[in-house]
């Protein structure tokens, strides 16, 4: 009978006490705010040269609710094979976007125009995130800084 009680103590009650003691530790949730850009979770995409539509490429703010607006600087760089007005029209004007409290995504709108590209040239359009007023991380956290830019290749 004593062995049964010892066995019960060791197998049931002792692990329950240890488990309850470990639950008292406070854990801090992971909170590393960052900005990133992607299209269907890709950092590099292709568009057809005969495309004639407007696309919103979203910039995301990944953080908890902020109570002050945050300004994000970005640039749109065209390769030597693309020309604004002929291949595309940048509908989002300026080089900054404002993330007001409660807004976690903002678009960069591009209207694509039908025009055959010269395949020997650089036919990329790069939307690159540069900096922000809160000094949050640009791109995904980690050494690679993924999704700090979106490269769109017109084919």
For the chain, domain boundaries: 34-154
The residue behind tokens 């690679």 is 144
- 34-154 CATH, one of 3.40.50.2300, 2.60.40.2030, 3.10.20.30, 1.10.10.10: 2.60.40.2030
pTM of the model as a whole: 0.80
Tell me the DSSP string of 65-95: PPSS-EEEEEEEEE-TT--BTTTEEE-S-SS
pLDDT digits (tens, 9 = 90+) for 82-119: 999 999 999 999 999 999 999 999 999 999 999 999 99
pLDDT recorded at residue 145: 87
Alpha carbons 30 and 106: distance in angstroms, whole number: 24
Q: Please, what is the average pLDDT of the chain?
A: 88
pLDDT digits (tens, 9 = 90+) for 18-34: 566 665 555 555 678 99
CA distances from 23 to 11, 12, 15, 16, 28 (A): 19, 17, 12, 11, 13
Parallel/antiparallel/unpaired status of strands 124-132 and 34-37: unpaired
Residue with the bigger pLDDT between 142 and 1: it is: 142
pLDDT recorded at residue 32: 87
Q: Hey, what long-range contacts does 95-99 have (CB within 8 A, 24 or more apart)?
A: 96/71, 96/72, 97/59, 97/71, 97/72, 98/69, 98/70, 98/71, 98/72, 99/61, 99/66, 99/69, 99/70, 99/71, 99/72
Query: Is the backbone of residue 139 left (phi > 0), alpha (psi -120 to 50) or beta?
Result: left
What average pLDDT does range 50-61 have in this prediction?
95
């Amino acid at each position: 009978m004593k062995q049964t009680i010892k066995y019960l103590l060791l197998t049931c009650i002792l692990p329950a006490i240890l488990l309850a003691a470990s639950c008292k530790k406070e854990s801090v949730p992971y909170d590393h705010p960052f900005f990133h850009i992607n299209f269907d979770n890709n950092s590099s995409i292709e568009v057809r040269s005969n495309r004639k539509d407007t696309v919103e490429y979203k910039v995301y703010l990944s953080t908890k609710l902020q109570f002050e607006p945050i300004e994000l600087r970005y640039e749109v760089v065209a390769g030597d094979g693309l020309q604004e007005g002929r291949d595309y029209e940048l509908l989002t004007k300026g080089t900054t976007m404002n993330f007001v409290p409660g807004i976690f995504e903002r678009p960069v709108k591009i209207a694509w125009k039908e025009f055959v590209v010269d395949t020997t040239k650089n036919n990329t359009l790069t939307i690159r995130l540069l900096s922000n007023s809160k000094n949050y991380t640009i791109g995904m956290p980690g050494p690679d800084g993924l999704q700090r830019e979106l490269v769109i290749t017109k084919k």
